[in-house]
Amino acid sequence: MQRVRDSKAKKGRPVGATTRGASRRQPSAERRWPQRLLRVGKLLGVVALVSTLVGGAGWFMVPTVAEVVNQPIVRVAVKGRLMHMPKEQVQVAMQPYLNSRFFTVDLDAMQADLLTLPWVQTVSLRRQWPGVIEISVTEQVPVARWQSGALLNSEGNSFVVENAADFVTLPHLIGPDSSEIEVMEQYQTLSNLLRPNGLNIRELRLTNRGSWELLTDDFVIMIGRSHVVDKIQRFVAVYDAALKDNGRPITKVDVRYLNGVAVAWGSQSDSHPLVSETVGTENYEG
């Protein structure tokens, strides 16, 4: 009898009923999609808001960071020892560039301005963070005077300074316009030939006709237009063999000959030549 009741109870259970303690019926997948889309939309809205706030803050922060890194130039530091110009002169020339920005200051323009200073031969610049430009200057080294008021360095480059008159002890080089390099090279070559015999060039001249002549401490040497080095070498040989210890003062030597030199002698009391003689043959070359 009991089994019959149980059987009836099973037959009377509704289809799809849940067991005790189970949740209520779940909504279908089609009903869940609108809820998911709503949650995704809210999330995207929050992300967009945060991105806008962060992006706006970054937009205003970028110039501030750039200003911290790219600071103004507040000082120029001149390195090395300067003999002929004060460091203050370099600093004054750089005044227009102070307060320019560290990474954007025009170093090429700074270098060009420094090279206009008379005593500056070469210059190099280096940034030193946060606000310093380090300047290394190589000064001109005067080797000779040029024409009536300029100086020459060893490369034959001329420069004009206010105190050129202070360098009167330097040799005086003279020549046509734009001949500085040629005259300097000739001066260096001839000096090396004459100096071993105690002869120093006080003046070297290149005329407009292309003829060379020089003045030592004691006498003039007329060289001519061609074979300049050969002629001086020949003179040095004659001077060392027959003229150096002669005892008579020489006022002028003419080496414009193929194989000899003409010598004008003076007296101990008179600088004007008294006797002229030729050592060697007299084939004049000019």
Q: What is the DSSP string of 82-112?
A: -SSS-HHHHHHHTGGGTTSBTTTS-HHHHHH
The string of pLDDT tens digits covering residues 185-205 is 999 999 999 999 999 999 999
pTM of the model: 0.71
In angstroms, rounded to a whole number, what is the distance separating the alpha carbons of residues 93 and 113? 7
Which residue, chain included where needed, has tokens 């210059």? 123
Residue 171 to residue 195: CA distance in whole angstroms: 13
Strands 275-279 and 261-265: antiparallel
Q: Superfamily for 144-279?
A: Cell division protein FtsQ/DivIB (3.40.50.11690)
The 10s digit of each residue's pLDDT in 31-88 is: 555 565 565 456 556 545 545 554 554 544 556 777 788 999 999 999 988 999 999 9
- Nearest residue to 250 (alpha-carbon basis) of 269, 265, 238: 265
Grouping H, G, I as helix, E, B as strand and the rest as coil, residue 218 is: coil
> What would the two tokens of residue 6 be?
């149980």
Q: Are 102 and 126 in contact (CB under 8 A)?
A: no
Rounded (5°) CA angle 161-165-167: 90
Average pLDDT value for residue range 89-111: 96
The residue extents of the domains of the chain are 75-139, 144-279
Closest CA to 258 of 236, 279, 273, 276: 279
More confident residue, 262 or 31: 262
What fold, for 75-139?
Answer: Ubiquitin-like (UB roll) (3.10.20)
Note whether 54 and 87 are within 8 A (CB): no
Tokens 């080496």 belong to 255
